Every structure is written in structure tokens, then in C-alpha cells.
Amino acid sequence: MITGAHAIVYSTDPDADRAFLRDVLRLPKVDVGGGWLIFGLPPSEVAVHPAEENGRHELYFLVDDVRAFIAAMRERKIACSAVHAERWGRVTNVTLPGGGTIGVYEPLHARPP
């Protein structure tokens, strides 16, 4: 039934954030015309958390080793926040050129098949 997921990152500087996804994270992409790039992601998962209000969503990228990810970003002159531990994983945040942030974490929880 479900064949994939499509995440949207809203940005005040979409060209810079697209360049970040393309050039820094090196995500595969397809040009669908008019300056629109759609980036491929590895297999993903979704979780539902309780909230006081609807409408808020978050995007995290998963990595096998968060410290190796930070080292790779440092080589590309990209700053990451200090790693902090959560019960579900080791987490860092990357600030996009447009000012938004994306979480990156090394999961400690079981992954769905």
C-alpha cells in the first residue's frame, strides 16, 4: 500500500538548503523542473508522539555512528551541535544555510524491518 514517504523542509533560503542536501549531505536527487530538486532518502520510519497541538513535525536523519557523521561534516566545514544522549539515541543537530535545523541521530532503539 505505502511505497515511500515524502518529507518537506520549509526554508527562507531554499536554494542554499537544496545545495546543502546536494553538496554536503550528497543525497541523490532528481530535477523535476523549474528549479525543484527532490532528494532520495534511505529507508525511513515514522513515529507518532503525544502533543498539546497538532501540526508540528520533525525531521531526523539516522546514521550508524553519530561521531563519524560529525567528523565528516567537520571536514566539509559544517558545524554540528554537541552530541547529547537520549534514551532512544545519540543526537546532534545541523543548522541548514536557510536557518532551519535537522536532527541527526544514532538510534539505540530497534528498527522496523
For residue 95, give the C-alpha cell: 543548522
34-93 pLDDT, tens digit per residue, is 888 999 999 998 899 898 888 888 899 999 999 999 999 999 999 999 999 999 999 999
89 beta partners: 86, 107
Domains observed in the chain: 14-43+58-107 (3.10.180.10)
**What is the separation of C-alpha 99 from the centre of its chain, rounded to a whole number of angstroms?**
14
pTM of the model: 0.84
pLDDT at 3: 79
In this structure, of 13-22, 52-61, 99-108, the range with the lowest mean pLDDT score is 52-61
Q: Which residues of 4-16 are buried (b: 16+ CB within 10 A; e: fewer)?
A: eeeeeeebeebee
Q: 25: which DSSP letter?
A: S
